[in-house]
Amino acid sequence: MEGITLKKLDKIKSPGGSLSFFQLGKDFDFEIKRIYYIYEFSQQNRRGFHAHKELKQVMFCPHGSIEVELDNGTEKEKYLLDCPEKILVLNRGYWREFLSLTENSILCVGASEIYDESDYIRNYDDYILWSKHEMEEKINGSAI
């Protein structure tokens, strides 16, 4: 899906274990101002159910397996974070749902902005209206 990158990082192995890394400029193009992580997923396993108007994020799953379902208002696509070497880079504006596929999965997120509830769209109908408006703005903008 446009604006989304799923990337498999190198795994640097040594006798002491494995290491992966991602960095500004090469793997993502925004400053990270906040890091948060989701763990102890409930029995229901599913969360998210919102979009961000401006926030960009890079996500990875250092333990377990998580399916990320993204929706841009016209199409949906699923991305699997099933090993520590995968990162998912998200531009602004996608409705997302997270499904933990194994017990004790952890989802880590690097975010481009500090926490701001006004950046969230938490109602799906509102999201569809917002995404249509964004699409129109984009088309009008590129027509000028």
Q: Using the rule CB under 6 A, is 53 a contact of ligand TYD?
A: no
Query: What letter would DSSP give residue 53?
Result: S
Residue among 9 and 38 whose Cβ is closer to ligand TYD: 38
Instruction: Point out the catalytic residue in the list 50, 52, 63, 133.
Output: 50
Tokens (6 digits) for 65: 């397996």
Strand partners, 96: 50, 70
End-to-end Cα separation, the chain, in angstroms? 25
CB of residue 12 to ligand TYD, shortest distance in Å: 29
d(CA 120, CA 17): 39
Piece in contact with ligand TYD (CB under 6 A), picked from 11-19, 34-42, 71-79, 80-88: 34-42
Distance CA 39, CA 12 (A): 25
- By beta-carbon proximity to ligand TYD, the closer residue of 34 and 53 is 34
Q: What type of residue is 20?
A: S
Query: How many other CB atoms are there within 10 angstroms of residue 98's CB atom?
Result: 20
Hey, how many other C-beta atoms are within 10 angstroms of the C-beta on 75? 9
Q: Does 21 bind ligand TYD (CB under 6 A)?
A: no
Q: How far is CA 39 from CA 102, 119, 136, in A?
A: 11, 23, 37
The reply to whether 38 sits near ligand TYD by the rule CB under 6 A is yes
Residues 94-123 that bind ligand TYD (CB under 6 A): 115
**Catalytic (active site) residue 133:** no
Segment contacting ligand TYD by CB under 6 A, of 47-55, 63-71, 87-95, 131-139: 47-55
Residue 7 CB, shortest distance to ligand TYD, in Å, is: 21
Q: Which residues bind ligand TYD (CB under 6 A)?
A: 34, 36, 38, 47-48, 50, 115
Active site positions, annotated: 50
